[in-house]
Structure 1
Amino acid sequence: MMLETVAAVPGMVGGMLLHCKSLRKFQHSAGWIKALLEEAENERMHLMTFMEVAQPKWYEKALVFTVQGVFFNAYFLMYIFSPKLAHRIVGYLEEEAIHSYTEFIKELDKGTIPNVPAPAIAIDYWRLPKDSTLRDVVLVVRADEAHHRDVNHFASDIHYQGKDLNEAAAPLGYH
């Protein structure tokens, strides 16, 4: 749950800053604003789903608020100074998320974590069958994280080549 709280920040920050840049320079974003905001929304849905499963306590919610506040400001500054670094770090964080969800699946398969029915929010968002389980949800979330990893490494590579994101079309329409 904590991971998803932080993961929802970069797409929103990047999308917001690109939106403002697009307005200032009167230029299109080649789909990057939409791609990054879709990423932020997708990560938010991961959080909403796992909140349904975990039912966090008030102090866990307070910790989320604190961590998110610190991370938002740090990432905002990082993105202003080096979008290349910001996207690369997110790519690596997403790789860690993929690993974490792979371990989660192993624990579900071993029975250490109960494979409960999927929350309705997950069934609706990912259009899963009505009889889906937590394992099914973790599989689609892990696939989302792989997509986010690829998008952010691609964005960093564009910057690495000395280009702006609007010089290469964003990968859209994965969800």
Structure 2
Amino acid sequence: MMLEKATVVPGMVGGMLLHCKSLRRFEHSGGWIKALLEETENERMHLMTFMEVAKPRWYEKAIGITVQGIFFNTYFLAYLASPKLAHRFVRYLEEEAIQS
């Protein structure tokens, strides 16, 4: 559940920052904003399915919210510093999700 909560964050952060960049520069993103937000929606549906099956307790949900909050802020700062590094990290995160 923690991994699924974390995998929702990169698409949202990337889409949000690309959206803001597109607005600042008055240029199109080439479809990347939509692609990243669709990936986030896909990961959210995985999480919803898992939540329905696992039926986590309140404290597990609280831990998940904490993990997601910390990861969101960390990934946001990492994406601001180096989008290439942030995307590479997501690749490793997805590989871990496949293995687990």
CA shift digits 1:16-52 (9 cap, x unpaired): 0000000000010011000100011110110000000
RMSD: 0.5
The runs of 4+ residues in structure 1 deviating greater than 3 Å are none
**Which is higher, the Rg of structure 1 or of structure 2?**
1
- Which residue of structure 2 aligns with residue 5 of structure 1? 5
Q: Which residue type is aligned with residue 73 of structure 2?
A: N
Within 5 Å, give how 1:47-58 maps onto structure 2.
47-58=47-58
**2:8 alignment partner, SS class:** helix
Q: Deviations over 1:97-134 (max 9, x none)?
A: 1111xxxxxxxxxxxxxxxxxxxxxxxxxxxxxxxxxx
TM-score (norm 1): 0.57
Structure 1 residue 2, shift from structure 2 partner: 1.2
Q: 2:24 is matched with which residue?
A: 24
Equivalent pairs: percent with the same residue? 79
Ranked by relative contact order (alpha carbons within 8 Å, sequence separation 6 or more), the top structure is: 2
Q: Distance in 2 between matches of 1:68 and 1:46?
A: 15
Q: Deviations over 1:50-91 (max 9, x none)?
A: 000000000000001100000000000000010000000000
2:37 corresponds to? 37
Q: Quote the Cα distance in structure 1 between the aligned partners of 2:10 and 2:83.
A: 11
Aligned to 2:75: 75
Aligned residues: 100
